[in-house]
Amino acid sequence: MKLVLKNPNEAPYVDGKDISVVITFDDSSTAGKASELLQLVGRKLKGEDGRLFHQWWNTEVLAFNSLRELAAAEAAAADLIIICMHAGQELPEMVASWMKRLITLRKNRHGALIAVLDPDKKQPETSQSIVSQLKQVAASGQMNFFATGAKTGKDAALSRSASEAARQFVLARKKGVPYGLPGEERMSAETCAV
């Protein structure tokens, strides 16, 4: 599968063949981690036909209503949504508003939400609150949910698990399996690990 940055000069998205990914990130360090995950997903889908369309949104622009609405519309149409951010007590208000809006616009479109959280070393338990919020969003939007830490070592294996889960979702969607993952009869939120 060919990685393609979404742009107006590219041939239109082909449903069932191409994959659409929307990525939100906090800063350059989290964008780098999201890029690594996107590359990993691309490698997992190497033998597949189609294009892996991706577009990027910095979480700071979600503070502006018009840009948040545009980002929500793009994410509502995406197959995969990757959120890569620093962990905190809860989702920032602008991100929570964006997610609420994209779920409203999504209209029961199946997909996957992948969270890559850069843990707070001083307060590691803060990630659990965000994971809980994202699980609820994923469940209400009929999306599979996967979360992973953003560090190396054992967390690198978790990133591979998230990319493999994304690959399984994509392959199941192409085969027409409802709700994304083979063997699932209904959508449930899952966590790889944090």
Q: Each residue's pLDDT tens digit in the chain (194 positions)?
A: 787 888 778 888 887 788 899 999 988 888 888 888 888 888 877 877 888 889 999 999 999 999 999 999 999 999 899 998 887 768 889 999 999 999 999 887 778 898 888 766 665 555 677 888 899 988 888 888 888 764 444 455 556 666 666 667 666 766 766 544 433 333 333 434 33
pLDDT of residue 64: 95
User: What does the alpha-carbon distance between residue 68 and residue 90 come to, in Å, rounded to a whole number?
Assistant: 19
User: What does the alpha-carbon distance between residue 96 and residue 104 come to, in Å, rounded to a whole number?
Assistant: 13
User: What does the alpha-carbon distance between residue 177 and residue 169 come to, in Å, rounded to a whole number?
Assistant: 9
pLDDT of residue 78: 92
3-state secondary structure 90-147: CCCHHHHHHHHHHHHHHCCCCEEEEEEEECCCCCCCHHHHHHHHHHHHHHHCCEEEEE
Take residue 32 and report the two structure tokens written for it: 């780098």
Q: Which domains does the chain have, with CATH numbers?
A: 2-175 (3.40.50.360)
Residue type, 149: G
Phi/psi for 132 (5° steps) reads: -60, -45
pLDDT of residue 87: 76
* pTM for this prediction: 0.80
